[in-house]
Amino acid sequence: MKGDVRTLDRIRFHYEVERSLSDQLRHAPASERGKLYHSLYNELFTRVTDHEQFQMKSNEEATERETALQLGRIKPLLRKSDIYCEIGAGDCALAIKVSKYVKKAYAIDVSEIISDNVKFPENLEFILSDGISIPIPENTVDLAYSNQLMEHLHPEDSISQLNNIYKILKPGGKYVCITPNRLSGPHDISRYFDDVATGFHLKEYTNYDLKDVFAKAGFRKFRAILSWQHLVVPWLMPLAPFIPIERALENLPRTPRRRASAALGAIKFVAIK
């Protein structure tokens, strides 16, 4: 399979495990999901020992390349006096890099397994979360960031988490949300087998989907980061041009829609408090 070094048998095993676990999360009542995010992801990483995130973590060159790519997107927004919060920090490679450019950094995740044995700088604090709560003082964060997180949330939990992110941001604070575009998906392990995401991508989005969801959480200003590989426009772009392009692409048949949408790359959505 392109983009994955594992055999088809191992990819299928990963798919079957992830689909079974994610179905538990999809169908669980809200009262249970807070505990399930932690336990199900830990189970996934325990059972799928060759998960793509482990492959990335063991490949120092690939990790460094991906971390540099992400840092390049948000570095123009960082100031030395800032408080930074990364939600869904994974192996914390990016949070560690960002901690060099800010006063204080938080790394939040639902699983501690990927970041196990990581040495954290003094100004970086790791917080284990239930996937929804953001246990940081309100009105303290200048820049919140997530990469490949939003799509992992149960749709009913996305508003709850966004409400919590909104609370921790200072007035004028920004939340940068990087997520795969639904129009070129699916983007989880089910991309090899299904037409829509059926793994731990519980919902994939477009820019206009995100605008609607973020508005419900109180955000009123929306922008986008325009970048291609390591080339980054150093100022935020208006969101408006992306929405009619997506709506036009959505009307295309599946195969040409996915190919054309792939050229847009990941969504780099910015919401401002």
pLDDT digits (tens, 9 = 90+) for 157-167: 999 999 999 99
113 band by pLDDT with thresholds 50, 70 and 90: low
User: What is the pLDDT at residue 115?
Assistant: 64
User: What is the pLDDT at residue 253?
Assistant: 92
Bond preceding residue 180 cis, omega within 30 of 0: no
Reported as a single tens digit per residue, the pLDDT across 29-59 is 999 998 898 899 989 999 999 988 776 666 7
87 Ramachandran zone, left/alpha/beta (phi>0; psi -120 to 50):
beta
- Asked whether the predicted pLDDT for residue 82 surpasses 60, the reply is yes
1 band by pLDDT with thresholds 50, 70 and 90: low
Angle at 257 between CA 256 and CA 260, to 5 degrees: 80
- Asked whether the predicted pLDDT for residue 116 surpasses 70, the reply is no
Sketch out the chain's domains with CATH numbers.
8-272 (3.40.50.150)
Select the more confidently predicted residue: 38 or 245. Answer: 245
Contact indicator for 221, 40 with CB cutoff of 8 Å: no
153 band by pLDDT with thresholds 50, 70 and 90: very high
